[in-house]
Chain A
């Protein structure tokens, strides 16, 4: 089974702090994604990466950056956390076999910014 592991289930940070959310997948998938999920707003794409050292902005990249130095790891960085970044963050990976186009998700990190 594919396993996508997010480093923390719950995080509490203060406004202005730099926050790192880590995601690791064990299936050698080329594509990885970061989403946030908020009540009433559904799932929104922050950034995605087609392969190592490649990244593309999603729908809401402002206030975030990403890093993909190794194939299995995709990090989301909040440069200066703000209260409106309190959310559930979800990482996903995908096989490049687009005929399947299945994304595998981690359990999520619930981030609270105070």
Chain B
């Protein structure tokens, strides 16, 4: 399985942008890059995904390196409600299941 590497934790101040990095040097050509997050005492929540091009949605932006060996989840203005564990996952289109690593715990200060 292609693996991902993320920092254990990051800190941000409210209203500031946050860039959450993910390395996936063994990514295959058919792997999609997915991001989920898990708020305290909640189930995981889908954030965004992409294949090659940068992606934007109402929650976040995903910047994918040209060689696809890394990506960055961008929260444009962090709020206290964004404090969560963020998981970067590689998903093949034929995958049925999710495998979460340890993720990055994002701490947001007022």
Contact A107 B96, CB 8 Å, known A42-B102, A101-B32, A101-B91: no
Contact A43 B98, CB 8 Å, known A98-B93, A101-B34, A102-B49: yes
A-contact bits for B89-102, CB 8 A (1 contact / 0 none): 00101111111111
Tell me which residues from 42 to 57 in chain B have a Cβ below 8 Å from any Cβ of chain A.
42-46, 49
**Are A90 and B44 in touch, CB under 8 angstroms?**
yes
**How far, in angstroms, from A56 to B97 measured CA to CA in the complex?**
11
- With a 10 A CB-CB cut-off, give which of A35, A58, A100, A101 has the most chain B CB atoms: A101
Chain A residues positioned under 8 Å from B100 (CB to CB): 37, 42-43
**How far, in angstroms, from A105 to B39 measured CA to CA in the complex?**
12
Q: How large is the interface on B (under 10, 10 to 19, 20 to 34, 35 or more residues)?
A: 20 to 34
Tell me which residues from 73 to 104 in chain B have a Cβ below 8 Å from any Cβ of chain A.
91, 93-102
**B contact patch SS:** loop
**Are B32 and A107 in touch, CB under 8 angstroms?**
no
Tell me which residues from 78 to 114 in chain A have a Cβ below 8 Å from any Cβ of chain B.
90-92, 98-108
Chain B residues positioned under 8 Å from A31 (CB to CB): 96
Residues of A in contact with B (beta carbons under 8 Å apart): 4, 31, 33, 35, 37, 42-43, 45, 48, 56, 58, 90-92, 98-108
A-B contact pairs, 19 of them (CB 8 A): A31-B96, A33-B97, A35-B98, A37-B100, A42-B100, A43-B99, A45-B97, A45-B98, A90-B43, A91-B43, A92-B98, A99-B93, A101-B49, A101-B93, A101-B95, A102-B46, A103-B98, A107-B43, A108-B42
**Given pairs A101-B34, A102-B49, 11 additional interface contacts (CB within 8 A):** A31-B96, A42-B99, A43-B98, A45-B98, A91-B43, A101-B91, A103-B98, A104-B46, A107-B41, A107-B43, A108-B41
Residues of B in contact with A (beta carbons under 8 Å apart): 32, 34, 41-46, 49, 91, 93-102
